[in-house]
Amino acid sequence: MTTRLTQTRVVIAEGRDEVHLVEAVARQLGLTNLQVLSFEGVDNLRGFLRALPSVSEFTRVRSLGIVCDAEDDARARFQSVTNSLADAGLSAPSDPLVPSPGTPRVVVLINPFGSPAGSLDDVCLETVRSEPAMSCVDAYLTCLEAAGIPLATNRAKTRAHAFIASRDRPDVSLGVALQRGYFPLTHVAFDPVRRLLQPESGVKSARSEFKAFDPVKGMLPGDLPGTAGR
């Protein structure tokens, strides 16, 4: 690994979209002692984690966050992440968003948090569920289906990019859209990212503190502790 570690707090994310998200939320929280890197896809996570301890600056790292999508099976994805951590000789947490013991402290976020499946696209869509443009997005997809035009398997990604196309910069990626504020970072759906970056805020048990995120039904304000009326 040629990347230098410049901060004591490091987050490694599945792709550039997740990197943009974490960086944007960190700025919102006023965090400056944070370095965010991409491991460029889940297939590369094990090798990336194996290489981390060999970086000379790694001895100064006090916390390590890992962000990736659940895709088809959140439980299997979390197990894969913890297996990769163990393979690299790093401590593995017992649950998502629960810090592991030892140094560096490891915290894992699987998006959408609490859902059995899904991706960052689902989380972003929850933040704009009440936007007028979303009725147009769904009407567009319905029109395509009625015309016999096959849609992508990942319907959430199709909907997210159709929503982005309704903004002033329709050509940007999901991550850039997040940084441009197309998906409001203050929304409750992004609270798990804030918990990832501030685990000291008191997550006792991911299962007891959070209700499941349902990418179909979505979350409502007040579903997470301390968010009522947000």
Q: Rounded to two decimals, what is the model's pTM?
A: 0.86
For residue 215, the surrounding DSSP H or E stretch is none
pLDDT digits (tens, 9 = 90+) for 165-222: 999 999 999 999 999 999 999 999 999 999 999 976 543 433 333 344 444 444 433 3
Give the N- to C-terminal CA distance of the chain in Å, as an integer: 42
Report angle CA 191, 196, 202 to the nearest 5 degrees.
Answer: 80
Domains and CATH numbers, the chain: 1-120+174-230 (3.40.1360.10), 121-173 (no CATH)
pLDDT of residue 166: 97
Specify the pLDDT at position 223.
40
pLDDT of the residue at 2? 65
pLDDT tens per residue, range 25-63: 999 999 989 999 999 999 999 999 999 999 989 999 999
